[in-house]
Amino acid sequence: MNIILKNGIAAMAVAAMAAISAPVSAQLYFAEPNLSTPPVTGTEPELALNLPGATATELRAGLIWHLRVAMNIAALQCDFEPSLLTVSNYNATLAHHKSELSGAYNALEGYFQRTAGKGRVGQRALDRYNTTVYSSFSTVHAQRDFCNVMGKIGREAIFADRGTFYKIAQNHMGEVHKALVPTGEQYFTNPGYNYKAALPLFTKNCWKKDRLNTSCETAWREYAAKQVQHP
């Protein structure tokens, strides 16, 4: 009896240690949407890099800069779920990939100096571009999708080797843009679940002050029961 009990306790301890050691992610969904995409180059129209005539180096810089901006927006918008760590991941990314981010900014600055004009003209074009990029990642209706994706990207960024931030941008910028369109919970879209709203009747004869009368309540409950099909 004692041996069985001890073995059971040991097994539970091992399971608990395994659970603790496993990576923890924010539980925003029962089943999260799959927003993954193939790697991108920066030429894809849906990314809206808007850098016509850019060289391969400038396109890479655009991808890096767009991802940095997306992480910045996530740090501002996603702290409602602290376990996503969007603020600390963003700050750590700025420090860890400082040289690569500075190089990307310099490359974009050079692009606008070359295409828009030297001096202040090019700088104003870069400022307008930055404003547009920031606006493009601000989301309300798709906030959970966006924040969920950015939480995962932030974790990847802080552990990536220096000089490889561009790979994260290439691998995930398509996903980031897909996350700006709301999708939401996927578990209850399973065909086995078919939930419909069943509101009570609001006709006058069903209510006395703020109370639903018995006959109408019974009819409503019967109707509501028929709307739920369990798997």
* Residues 64, 144 contacting (CB under 8 angstroms): no
- The pLDDT-based confidence of 228 (bands split at 50, 70, 90) is low
Confidence at residue 29, expressed as pLDDT on a 0 to 100 scale: 62
| 46 located within any domain | yes
- Is the pLDDT at 169 greater than 80, yes or no? yes
Q: Where are the alpha helices (DSSP H) in 141-212?
A: 143-159, 165-178
Asked whether residue 6 is domain-assigned, the answer is no
Same domain, 135 and 209: no
Residues 174 and 197 in one domain: no
Which of these ranges, 55-69, 162-176, 178-192, 198-212, has the smallest mean pLDDT? 178-192
Cα 111 to Cα 125: distance, rounded to the nearest angstrom: 10
Are 82 and 133 contained in the same domain?
Answer: yes
pLDDT tops 50 at residue 1 = no
Of the listed ranges 18-22, 115-119, 155-159, the least confidently predicted one is 18-22
For 22-52, b where at least 16 C-beta lie within 10 A, e where not — what string?
A: eeeebebeeebbebebeebebeeeebebebe
Please indicate, yes or no, whether residues 105 and 142 belong to a single structural domain of this protein.
Answer: yes
Banded model confidence at residue 9, pLDDT cuts 50, 70, 90: very low
In a domain, 76, yes or no: yes
User: Do residues 141 and 65 both lie within one domain?
Assistant: yes
Tokens in use for 140? Answer: 């309300």
Planar angle of CA 179, 181, 182, nearest 5 degrees: 95
Q: Is the pLDDT of residue 19 over 70?
A: no
187 within domain boundaries: no
Same structural domain, 165 and 208: no
For the record, the structure tokens of 72 come out as 């910045």
- Residue 192 pLDDT greater than 90, yes or no: no
Burial class (CB in 10 A: 0-12, 13-18, 19+), 59: buried
Q: Is residue 140 part of a domain?
A: yes
pTM: 0.69
3 φ, ψ (degrees, to nearest 5): -65, -45
pLDDT at 13 over 60: no
166 in Cβ contact with 64 (< 8 Å): yes
Are residues 210 and 123 part of one domain? no
Q: Distances in Å between the alpha carbon of 93 and those of 65, 105, 131, 174, 191?
A: 12, 15, 21, 20, 41
Confidence at 214, pLDDT banded by 50, 70, 90: confident
Same domain, 82 and 56: yes
Specify the higher pLDDT residue, 83 or 203: 83
Between residues 15 and 84, the one the model is more confident about: 84
In this prediction, residue 116 carries a pLDDT of 92
Looking at the structure, tell me whether residues 134 and 41 fall in a common domain: yes
The pLDDT of residue 34 is above 90: no
Bigger pLDDT: 52 vs 7: 52
Helix pair 86-96, 56-77: axis angle to 10 deg: 150
Overall average pLDDT of the 180-200 stretch: 62
Inter-residue contact 157 to 93 (CB < 8 Å): yes
Q: SS3 breakdown of the chain: % helix, strand, coil, rounded to 5?
A: 65, 5, 35
Helix axes 143-159 and 86-96, enclosed angle (nearest 10): 40
117 and 41, same structural domain? yes
Q: What is the mean pLDDT of the chain?
A: 81
Q: Give a yes or no: residue 16 inside a domain.
A: no
pLDDT at 23: 42
Range of the domain at 210: 192-227
210 and 98 in a common domain: no
The verdict on residue 105 lying in a domain is yes
Does 89 share its domain with 148? yes
pLDDT of residue 118: 94
- Residue 185: its pLDDT value, please? 66
Closest-CA residue to 58 (of 4, 129, 112, 135): 112
Q: For the chain, what is the domain count? A: 2
